[in-house]
Chain A
Amino acid sequence: MKTFYKKFSEKFIEGLLMLSGTITSLTVVLIVFFLFKEGLGVFDKKPVEEGYVIALSKSNPLKTLSSEQIKNIYDQKITHWSEIGGKPDSIILFRAEDISNFYSDEEIGENFEGLSTCINRLVDSLPDIIAFFPKKYLAKDFKGHELTVDKVSLKEFFGGKEWFPTAQPSAQLGVLPLILGTLWVSFGAILLALPLGLAAAIFMSEIAKDNVRRIMKPLIELLAGIPSVVYGFFGLVIIVPLIQKTFNLPVGETGLAGSIILGIMALPTIITISEDAMRNTPRAMKEASLALGASKWQTIYKVVIPYSISGISAGAILGIGRAIGETMAVLMVTGNAAVIPHSILEPVRTIPATIAAELGEAPNGGLHYQALFALGCILFLITLFINLAVEFISNRKQHNKH
Chain B
Amino acid sequence: MYKIESKNVDFFYGASQALKNINIAIKPNTVTALIGPSGCGKSTYLRLFNRMNDLIDNTKIAGQVLIDGEDIYAKGVNVDSLRKKVGMVFQKPNPFPKTIFENVAYGLRVNGITDKKLIEERVETTIKQVVLWDEVKDKLKKSAFELSGGQQQRLCIARALAIQPSVVLMDEPTSALDPISTAKVEELIYELKTKYTIVIVTHNMQQAGRVSDTTAFFYMGELIEHDTTKTIFTNPKIERTQNYITGRFG
Contacts and interface: CB of A to CB of B under 8 A. Distances in A.
Given A287-B55, A298-B110, A293 B90 contact: no
Given A291-B52, A293-B110, A282 B83 contact: no
Q: How large is the interface on B (under 10, 10 to 19, 20 to 34, 35 or more residues)?
A: 20 to 34
Given A284-B90, A295-B80, A290 B106 contact: no
Interface in A275-289: 282, 284-285, 287-289
A396 interface: no
B97 interface: yes
A284 B156 CA distance: 12
Q: Which among A285, A287, A290 has the greatest number of chain B C-beta atoms within 10 A?
A: A290
B159 to A, nearest CB: 7
Given A287-B55, A302-B106, A302-B110, A292 B94 contact: no
Interface in A199-230: 209-210
B121 interface: no
A105 B168 CA distance: 108
Interface string B60-98: 000000000000000000001101100110101011110
Contacts of B149: none
Nearest to B169: A291
A307 B55 contact: no
A292 B92 contact: no
A357 interface: no
Q: How large is the interface on A (under 10, 10 to 19, 20 to 34, 35 or more residues)?
A: 20 to 34
A291 B50 contact: yes
A365 interface: no
Interface string B160-184: 1001000000000000000000000
A282 B159 CA distance: 18
B111 interface: yes
A69 B57 CA distance: 72
A3 interface: no
A292 B55 contact: no
Contact of B110 (A210, A285, A289, A306): A289
Interface in B124-179: 156, 159-160, 163
B96 A289 contact: yes
A292 B97 contact: no
A210 B97 contact: no
Contact of B163 (A282, A290, A292, A303): A292
Interface in A60-75: none
Contact of A293 (B57, B92, B111, B156): B111
A265 to B, nearest CB: 33
A294 interface: yes
B96 A303 contact: yes
A248 interface: no
A291 B85 CA distance: 10
A293 B159 CA distance: 12
B107 interface: yes
Given A292-B160, A293-B84, 17 more contacts: A209-B57, A284-B90, A284-B94, A285-B94, A285-B96, A287-B52, A290-B55, A291-B90, A291-B160, A292-B87, A292-B163, A293-B110, A294-B80, A294-B107, A298-B110, A306-B97, A400-B97
29 contacts: A210-B57, A282-B94, A284-B94, A285-B96, A288-B90, A288-B94, A288-B95, A289-B96, A289-B110, A290-B52, A290-B83, A291-B87, A291-B90, A291-B160, A292-B83, A292-B107, A292-B163, A293-B80, A293-B81, A293-B84, A293-B107, A293-B110, A293-B111, A293-B163, A294-B80, A294-B107, A298-B110, A302-B110, A306-B97
Interface of A: 209-210, 282, 284-285, 287-295, 298, 302-303, 306-307, 400
Q: Which 9 A-B pairs have the closest CB atoms?
A: A293-B84, A292-B107, A284-B94, A294-B110, A291-B88, A293-B83, A298-B110, A288-B94, A293-B80
